[in-house]
Amino acid sequence: MSSAGWPAAWVRERLRYEPHDLALFRAALTHRSASGDNNERLEFLGDAVLNLALAHRLYQAFPRATEGDLSRLRARLVSREPLAEIALELGVGEALQLGSGELRSGGFRRQSILADALEALCGAIYLDGGPAALEPVVARLFDARIATLPSPEALKDPKTRLQEYLQGRSLTLPRYAILGVEGEPHAQTFRVSCEVPGLALRVEGGGSSRRRAEQQAAQAMLEALGTHRAHRTAPE
């Protein structure tokens, strides 16, 4: 790893990319805990160019998806866990240069470090060869995952789905109200009600935050609406 040519062979083999400026890739594979140029600046750039490249691929793969749908789909690809999974598959952890403290604590397996390094590598490729060089690398790394993404509708949270359901039927939007908060400040449980005016439907939800409680209540309302609709359309 300390040879003058490092990490040219690794980049060729794992990323299938011919590097020109090796200093970029050395920095991309160097954590801030190690000496020398590190990958923080490249991570910043890589985050932006990877998001752009994936936005383009999703735009093509889901021609009927809305802006919100595309944003949710992209979030499934660029969050820490999937990026770290790809980095593990590439063997990024084995190639990373880490300080002694990070080595002892297993930093080469840490999701945040792996995800950051993958973004930094994208930044290095972008600077080394431009957008045209990055595009095929992103395609190889992400196209299989794009093909297995759930439908955009399935990614919507219950509150969004409930709002769209009601709006599509020209019904009044739901009202949420906090019913109570229980427990110690560090372990609270929120109880929230959800009501659809005009339909005589009211449900409750609970969670460790107001947002989670509202999401649970919205899901309960969607289920109640399904039952309500079934009863109204059932034959006498």
Complete edge-to-edge strand list for the sheet that includes strand 175-182: 175-182, 189-196, 201-207
- Phi-psi category of residue 101: left, alpha or beta, with phi > 0 → left and psi -120 to 50 → alpha: alpha
**Which helix (H) or strand (E) covers residue 78, if one does?**
helix 67-78
**CA 144 to CA 132: how far, in whole Å?**
20
Structural tokens at position 127 = 């600077």
Other C-beta atoms closer than 10 Å to the C-beta of 146 total 19
Distance from chain centroid for Cα 49? 15
Q: Where are the alpha helices (DSSP H) in 91-233?
A: 92-95, 100-104, 111-129, 131-147, 158-168, 210-233
Which among 43, 47, 102, 128 is annotated as catalytic?
47
Structural tokens at position 38 = 């590190």
* Among 176, 145, 165, residue whose Cα is nearest residue 225: 165
Which among 43, 102, 116, 119 is annotated as catalytic?
119
User: Is 119 one of the catalytic residues?
Assistant: yes
Structural tokens at position 196 = 């659809």
Structural tokens at position 215 = 């999401």
- Contact between 82 and 145 (Cβ < 8 Å): yes
Q: Looking at the annotation, which residues are catalytic?
A: 47, 119
